Structure 1
Amino acid sequence: MTLIRPDLDTLPAYVPGRTVPGATKLASNEVAEPPAPAVLEAIARAAANGNRYPDLGVVELTARLADVHGLAPERIAVGCGSVTLCQQLVQVSCVGPGDEVLFAWRSFEAYPIVARIGGAEIRTVPLGEGFRHDLDAMAAAITERTRLVFVCSPNNPTGPAVGRDEFVRFLDAVPADVLVALDEAYAEYVTDPDAVSGRPLLDAHPNLVVLRTFSKAYRMAGLRVGYALASAEVATALRKVAPPFGVNSVAQAGAIAALEHSAEILAGCADVVRERQRVAAALRDLGFPVPDTQANFVWLPLGERADEFARHCGERKVIVRPFQGDGVRVTVSTPQENDLLLDVASSFPAQPSS
C-alpha cells in the first residue's frame, strides 16, 4: 500500500525559465522594468502590517476590478496568479474518473499539470497552420466526458491570438455544460483589432470564464495575482475551492495600486509592441520563420534544434526558453537586451544544414 498517489509519478513537471547570474534572461516573459513606484510604495506600506492576515475575501481589490470591467463583484474571483485559478477551474468542473480537460498543444505548459493534479484526463488538439488554435478541430474533439476547455489567446508559447468571430462560433458549438476558459494573460499587448476580447462575450455565454493576470503588463510577476471574470455561479465556485488567504496582503495592495495607476503602467505596452515588431522582423530577415505574435514574446519553430539554439544562446549569456521538439520562446525585452538576442541569433543557422 502506498501513501502517495501513484499517478503523480507521471505528472509533467513545470519547467521555469532559467536564471543565470550575469546573463540576460529572456526565458520567462517577465517585464524588465520593476513595478511602478506607486506599486512599490503600496507594497512597502502593506509589508509593515505583515503580522496580520490578509483580507480573506480580497474585498477591496475585487471591488476595484468590478469597476474596471463593469461587472458585479460576485462575478469576479481573485487568485494567487492565474495558474492557481486554472487549477481551481479543474477542481470545480471535473468531478469523477474519466472527466476530461481539453486544450490545444503546444500551449501553456501548466494546463496538463493542473488537469492531472485535479484527477482529470487530458485531451489535446494540435495547433493548426501558423501555430494557431484550430478551434474547429477543438470543437470536434469535445466528447460527453469533456468538462473544461482552455483556450490561450495570445497563445503561450507560440504567440498568435484567436479571432473574435472564430471564437464566438466555437462558443456556439460548445455544449452549455462545458466550461470554456479564455486565458488572456497577455491581453494588454494585443493590437490586432480582430482578436477576441473575452469580457464583452460573458453575458451571452454563461459557460465562459476569462482569466487575466497582473504578472505581465502590470510588472508584478513575483507577487502572484490573477483573477477570473465569470458568471456568479462559476465565480462563487472558484472562491469556494480557493486556498484560504491565498492572495497575500502585499500582493493585494500592489494590485490595487496598479489599477489606480493603470494608464501610466500600461503605456509601457506600446514600447513592447514596437520592439516585438522589430525583433520579429529582424529574426525573419535572418531566416527564422517567426509566426505572428500578439504577446510579449516571439516563437522560433526550430523543432529538434530547440535545445541546440538554447545552448548557443546560453553560451553567450542570453537565456531563452526551449521546448525541445517544437521550438524556442524568446521574451521581448528592452532594445538593448533585444539587440543582444539578435546578435546571438545571427550566428546560429536559421535552417538546418542538409
Structure 2
Amino acid sequence: MADSPVRMRPEIAALPAYKQGRQAVADGYKLSSNENPFTPLVEIVEAVARAEVNRYPDATGPALRAKLGDRFGVTAQEVHLGAGSVALLSQFLLAVCEPGSEVVYAWRSFEAYPGLVTVAGGTSVQVPLGPGATHDLDAMAAAITDRTRAVIVCTPNNPTGPVVTAAGFERFMGRVPADVLVLLDEAYFEFVRDPGAVDGSTLIGRWPNLVLLRTFSKAWGLAGLRLGYAVGPEHILDAARAVAIPLSVTGQAQLAGLVALDHEDLLFARVEDIVGARTRLVAGLRDLGFAVPDAQGNFAWLELGDRTAAADDVFHEHGVVVRAFPGSGLRISVGEHESVDRVLEAAALLR
C-alpha cells in the first residue's frame, strides 16, 4: 500500500506504537505484565456483573472519589480517577506541556514515559539511573531548567525495582521550583517493604506542585478494568480533568474499586503472599550469581545487556513469558508460587 497522503506530526509518525510483551504460552506462566496472579474476589465479580453496561457511568465517580478522599484525608475534589495511572500521566502531561517544554524522568523507567511526553508535545530529558538501578535525584534536580514543566518520579522504579527514599525525596522537592509539576508514580506502592521508602500519602499538602499517582491494577488485582487515581491540589487535578477523555472510567471499574476497598484485608493478604514469592525469587536469582537490584515491586530485574534477546528465548522455551527490553535486560513478574521454580530452572541455564 502506498504511503498515506494524510499529514501527520513528524514526531508522532516516528513514534513506535506501544507493544505488549509476549503473551502466555500453553502450560506456562505469563510473567511479562506485572499482573496480580490471583483471580478476583467473588464480591468483585458480583459487583461488576451488577453494572449497567447499557448506561454511561457517572463520569466523576463520586462514590469512589469520596471513599478515596476519606482514605487519604482529602476532599473528593482532590481525587481524580483515570483509566489506569498511565491515563492520568497522559492527562497531566497534556495539561502542562507545550512545544519546547521538557519533562525530566529517570531512565530506564516506565517504558510509556517517552511516548506520553512526545504525544503531549514535550521533550524528554532522561537522567541515567544511579548505582543499584536507583533514581539519581541529584542529577534529576540538576537537569531541571526554565523549560521544565514536569518531573516524573517512579517508586518503586519499573522495571528495575528499587524505591526512592523518603529523605531523598524531601531533599529533591526542596530543589524543584514551585512551578514545576512533580508526578510521584507509586503504581507498586503496596508491595514496598523498605521502611525508608517514600510514602506519597504522608506528603499530601506539603508541596503545591506535587501529585500522587496510584492504581488498582497491581496489588488490588483489577488490571483488566483499568482504574487508577491521582491525589493532589484541586486546581491541578481540574486541569487533568479538562483534557481527559470523557467517560473513560467505566461503571464496572468504579464498582470494583469500591468493593476492593471494602475487602482490603483479604486483598492485602494476597499481596503479602506475592511479597513472599518475590523474596524467594530474588534470593534464588542471586544464588545463581545474578546481581538483582533491590526488588520492592512485584517484579525482579536482570541486567543482561546484549544477552537480553537470547535470555528471553531461553525463558520462553521453558514456558516462562518475561518482559524483554532489548539491549538492556529482563523484567520478571512475580506470579504463581509454582512459577518461581520454573523461572529459576530457566535462569540457571543462563549462567
Task: Quickly name the TM-score band, shorter chain normalised.
Answer: over 0.9
In 2, Cα distance between equivalents of 1:206 and 1:199? 14
Letter in 1 for 2:11: D
Is the counterpart of residue 143 in structure 1 residue 155 in structure 2? no
Contact conserved, 2:204 with 2:232, CA < 8 A, in 1? Answer: yes
Q: Which residue of 2 aligns with 1:11?
A: 15
What's the CA shift for 1:168?
0.5
Given that residues 19 and 319 in structure 1 are in contact (C-alpha distance below 8 angstroms), is that contact kept between their aligned partners in structure 2?
yes
Q: Out of 32, 53, 58, which is 2:56 matched to? A: 53
Aligned residue in 2 for 1:24: 29
Q: How far has the Cα of 1:201 moved from its partner?
A: 1.2
Letter in 1 for 2:126: T
**Which 4+ residue blocks in structure 1 deviate beyond 6 angstroms?**
none
Following the alignment from structure 1 to structure 2, what is the Cα–Cα distance between the partners of residues 6 and 325? 26
Tell whether 2:78 aligns with 1:75: yes
Q: What count of residue pairs does the alignment treat as equivalent?
A: 346
Mean Cα deviation higher: 135-144 or 333-342: 333-342
2:256 counterpart residue number: 254
Which amino acid in the other structure matches residue 123 of structure 1?
Answer: V
Q: Measure the CA separation in 2 of the matches of 1:316 and 1:133.
A: 33
User: 1: distance between equivalents of 2:305 and 2:284?
Assistant: 20
Q: Identify the match of residue 109 of structure 2 among 98, 107, 110.
A: 107
Aligned match of 2:39: 34
- Give the Cα separation in 2 of the matches to 1:21 and 1:285: 27
Q: How does 1:1-354 map to 2 (within 5 A)?
A: 2-22=6-26, 23-46=28-51, 49-94=52-97, 96-349=98-351
Q: Deviations over 1:75-118 (max 9, x none)?
A: 11100100000000111111x21001110000001111110111
Which deviations, in whole Å up to 9, do the C-alpha atoms of 1:178-210 show, x marking residues without a partner? 000010000000011100001211211110111
CA offset digits 1:235-281 (Å, max 9, x no partner): 11111111110101111111111111112111211111111111101
CA drift at 1:126: 0.2
1:352 — aligned with what? none
Q: Distance in 1 between matches of 2:327 and 2:235?
A: 41
Give the letter aligned to residue 240 of structure 1: A
Residue type at the aligned position of 1:193: P
- State the one-letter code of the partner of 1:180: V
SS of the equivalent of 2:174 reads: helix
Stretches of structure 2 lacking an aligned partner (at least 5 in a row): none
Does structure 2 retain, via aligned residues, the 8 Å contact 1:12–1:112? no
Task: Give the conservation status (yes or no) of the 8 Å contact 2:318–2:342.
Answer: no
Q: Which amino acid aligns with 1:292?
A: D
How far apart, in 2, do the equivalents of 1:302 and 1:178 lie? 35
The structural deviation recorded for 1:2 is 4.2
TM-score (norm 2): 0.96
The one-letter code matched in structure 1 to 2:50 is: R
Q: Is the 8 A contact 2:38 2:270 kept in 1?
A: no
Give, in whole Å, the separation in 2 of the partners of 1:188 and 1:17.
24
**What value does the CA root-mean-square deviation take over the aligned residues?**
1.1
Cα displacement string for residues 133-190 of structure 1 (whole angstroms, at most 9, x for unaligned residues):
0000000000100001110000000000000000000011000000000100000000
What CA deviation, in whole Å up to 9, does each residue of 1:194-240 have, x standing for no partner? Answer: 00001211211110111000000000100000000111111111111
Distance 1:199 1:183 in 2: 12
Matched residues in 2 for 1:12 and 1:36: separation? 37
Moved more, 142-151 or 340-349: 340-349
User: Residue 56 of structure 1: CA displacement?
Assistant: 1.2
Report how far residue 28 of structure 1 moved.
Answer: 0.5
More moved, 67-76 vs 171-180: 67-76
Q: Aligned with 1:267: secondary structure?
A: helix
Identity, in percent, stands at 48
